[in-house]
Amino acid sequence: MTERQYTILIVDDSAEDREVYRRYLSKEVRSKYKIIEAESGEDGLDQLAIKQPDLILLDYLLPDFDGLEFVEELKTQASQIPPIIMLTGQGNEAVAVEAMKSGVKDYLVKGRLTPEVLITSVKGTLQQHYLQSRLTKNFQQQQLIAETALRIRQSLELLEILDTAVKEVGLLLDCDRVVIYQFAPDMTGDVVAESVKFGWKKSLGQKIVDTCFRNEGVARYEKGETLAINDIYKSGLSKCHIKLLEEFQVKANAVVPILLSPSPLKDNHNLWGLLIAHQCSNSRHWETDEVKLLDKLAVQLAIAIQQAELLNHLQDELNTREQAEDSLKKQALKLKWVNQELLKTTSLLKKRNQELDHFAYVTSHDLKAPLRAIANLATWLSEDLEDQIPEESQEQLRLMRSRVKRMDGLIQGLLKYSRVGRKNILIETVNVGDLINNVINSLSPAAAFEIVIVPNMPTLKTEVLWLQQVFSNLISNAIKYHPKNSGKITISVEEQDKFYEFSVADDGLGIEPQYHERIFTIFQTLQARDSIESTGIGLSIVKKIVEGQGGTVRVESQLGEGATFYFTWRK
């Protein structure tokens, strides 16, 4: 955690106690903490409305209401609540428990307070809050990149992809405007997608007269360089460049190029446009990982743009040839050309898939490094500072390590999801009953769990690994989400014309009909992730595998009546 000055709000009606806290905190580096004070709950809420402290020291007994009432009132007024340490004159275990349930990070008794105890609690709380914020931010970035990559593979509508990208970046970076700027052949340009907060000028559809920016910036961006300006008035920009930014109320911005790689249509790298984030309300320090996120998304956008351009080019060529061809002979030539172009397209898409696989690997590697650092730091705090950290904070550290483990599972799940349908799987002859028994043995269910396989399961010649993956996910979910350690799962089959329809039925909690479609969406779960560890990817993989085989998957269930999952598999 980088060293900086933290703002601490002290809410306590006792001037003497406030002076004690200031004196204790001053034993740390004197400039490390900036103290603001409030003498009552209402005064504290007013201070929070105009300032954003990093931590609150809260007295339980306030003149207008108690500390628990203060916390509840704060939740109704603020979208983001800073961490809270509650202090009380006398220890009360019941109050302490209620405080922790309400979100208070630590509970200290004034009579036992020493400089070391207060400083340790403040530092530990700030550090825990920082680590949790980083973990949340890393997850949001990972999810945005993964969702963008999936949309690129699933959609050929370029404008839809561009609009989605600017909206997601605006939410994730919490900036005032995000735009995608496209260059014309003469290096003039227009904004083609924009997400802007209410109250700021829109640039989409506006005529932008650029008198100097192209001369200053284009050469830099053609080399793949990025730009992060924290304050346009302190970055050495020319007057005409500042004037252009002032026209759209910009005070800070971050810019990354969108570069198209060589393709059958172009022989060299081409600067297609720019992905730009604007801060209009004030200046802003752009973090390195924020600029890296923009750069990674620009790579994904470049792939989408090039893919759309290639398909449009093929369509234009096909239309032209159709208009010119008027005999059977010419139809044959057209089919031959189309086959050649399809071969080229297949080759290019194969290359793009390899690039996306490499991107997924590098991204997962980059994400795992900070996750390991967070897990190691949490372990170090738990083991080496065990005597200094309260038991409640130890539980928070355990929860942090659990969520790091969940993040690692999400990364592995995304890699597995991205490869479904593109990985060559050996086709083998297999008895489905034997395959299901192998799956059950690998899952090692509790002895009290009864799993029934109906007789006469078919023998198939198919991609065995994919079928095994489908049964493994469905049976594992039936066990994992069952409310008891004992239950019954029945696996059946019905023969259809060209397919077999398999079913996996359980006697668990069941699923409300309104969620039957949602559960097959990536990252979606119906139970809190802290109560049952789940990535929310398993059923998405099932759906993708089954549909890749030409089949369908569905669920029939009512709440409290168990659930039956059906899927069809080609004979």
What is the pLDDT, as a whole number, of residue 453?
96
Instruction: Indicate the Cα dihedral angle 95, 99, 101, 103, nearest 10°.
Output: 180
In order along its 571 residues, the chain shows pLDDT tens digits of 345 688 999 999 999 999 999 999 888 755 588 899 999 999 999 988 888 899 999 999 999 989 999 999 999 887 788 999 999 987 788 888 999 999 999 999 998 999 999 999 999 999 888 888 878 777 777 777 777 667 655 666 788 888 888 988 888 888 999 999 998 887 788 899 999 999 999 999 887 777 666 666 678 888 888 999 999 999 888 888 898 899 999 999 999 999 987 655 555 558 899 999 999 999 999 988 889 888 888 888 888 888 777 777 777 777 777 776 666 867 777 788 888 887 887 777 677 666 666 656 666 656 666 777 777 777 777 777 767 777 777 777 777 777 777 666 656 656 666 666 556 677 899 999 999 998 998 888 888 899 999 999 999 999 888 898 899 899 999 998 898 888 999 999 999 999 999 999 999 999 999 989 888 876 556 554 445 555 567 898 899 889 988 999 999 999 989 999 999 999 9
CATH 3.30.450.40 in the chain is located at 155-324
Tell me, what's the pLDDT at 526? 56
Q: Which amino acid appears at position 361 of this protein?
A: Y
State the pLDDT at residue 2.
Answer: 43
Q: How many CA atoms lie within 13 A of 492 on its CB side?
A: 9
- CA atoms 234, 236, 242, 248: torsion sign: negative
Looking at domain 6-113, what is its CATH homologous superfamily? Response regulator (3.40.50.2300)
* pLDDT confidence of residue 1: 37
Q: Give the C-alpha distances (Å, rounded to integers) separating 66 from 37, 46, 465.
A: 17, 16, 60
Output the pLDDT for position 528.
47
Q: Which element (helix H / strand E) includes 7?
A: strand 6-11
Q: Where are the alpha helices (DSSP H) in 78-192?
A: 93-101, 115-154, 158-173
Closest-CA residue to 467 (of 504, 496, 516, 418): 504
State residue 529's pLDDT score: 46
Beta carbons within 10 angstroms of residue 349's beta carbon: 14
| Residue ranges of the chain that CATH labels 3.40.50.2300 | 6-113
Q: Top-level CATH class of 155-324?
A: alpha beta
Domain 427-570 has CATH 3.30.565.10: yes
Residues of the chain with CATH 3.30.565.10: 427-570
* One-letter-per-residue 3-state SS of 297-323: HHHHHHHHHHHHHHHHHHHHHHHHHHH
Q: Which residues fall within 8 angstroms of residue 184, CB to CB, at 6 or more apart?
A: 190
Give SS3 for 4: coil
Contact 371, 407 (CB under 8 A): yes
